[in-house]
């Protein structure tokens, strides 16, 4: 009978993963997907504000102090999130991973604030759908940021208790 364990023993470079390896790969892939999604989600309003002048997002941003500044700050935040996504894809054990994760965490926080600001401005237009869209995106970004922060805190707590045992 051919089992996964026997295959692993027979094949030198096996594609048959243990359950733990399988779970790790799945988690890593979902992390990469989420990070890249957040990068592109931050680029969306910038493209709409700068490039699509008939869009509702552009009309909402016109109520802000400076629509151009809002758009380019979204681009800057996407750029700050990009190293985290690339690190997770290509070098997950990078020595700077903690700093890079903190950078992405704070960039996501600021992005969620900006999405909430867009929702706040869109209240004046009295279109519930567009307000809902920005609130939903802000809550998503805040949730992913919270997950990263929990991970950072857990790592820190582990280091602390390893040192003080």
Partner 1 sequence: MKIQHSTSVSMLSSAWAVAALWLWPRAVAAQTLSQDFGHYDWVSLAYAAALGLMGGMLALIVALATDRRVVLQVLGEGLRNALVSPIAGMAAYLMVDAVVSAGWATVPAGGRFLAIVGSGWAGIAFFAWARETAGKAATALGDWLVKKGQP
Least distance in angstroms from the C-beta of 21 to partner 1: 29
Which position among 102, 127, 133, 140 is part of the footprint of partner 1 (CB under 8 A)? 102
User: What is the Cα–Cα distance from 26 to 20, expressed in whole angstroms?
Assistant: 10
CB closer to partner 1 out of 24 and 68: 68
Asked if residue 130 binds partner 1 (CB under 8 A), the reply is no
**CB 35, CB 84: distance < 8 Å:** yes
Which position among 40, 96, 132, 160 is part of the footprint of partner 1 (CB under 8 A)? 160
**The two three-digit tokens of residue 86, written as one number:** 């690339």
CB closer to partner 1 out of 44 and 155: 155
Asked if residue 105 binds partner 1 (CB under 8 A), the reply is yes
């Amino acid at each position: 009978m051919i089992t996964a364990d026997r295959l692993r023993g027979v094949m030198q470079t096996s594609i048959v993963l243990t359950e733990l390896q399988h779970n790790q790969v799945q988690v890593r892939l979902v992390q990469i997907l989420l990070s890249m999604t957040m990068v592109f989600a931050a680029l969306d309003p910038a493209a709409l504000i700068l490039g699509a002048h008939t869009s509702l997002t552009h009309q909402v941003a016109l109520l802000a102090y400076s629509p151009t500044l809002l758009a380019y700050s979204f681009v800057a935040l996407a750029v700050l999130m990009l190293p985290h996504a690339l690190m997770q894809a290509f070098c997950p054990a990078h020595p700077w991973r903690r700093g890079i994760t903190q950078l992405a965490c704070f960039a996501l926080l600021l992005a969620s604030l900006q999405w909430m600001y867009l929702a706040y401005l869109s209240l004046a237009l009295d279109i519930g759908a567009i307000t809902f869209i920005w609130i939903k995106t802000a809550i998503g970004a805040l949730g992913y940021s919270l997950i990263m922060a929990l991970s950072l805190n857990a790592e820190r707590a582990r280091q602390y208790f390893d040192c003080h045992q």
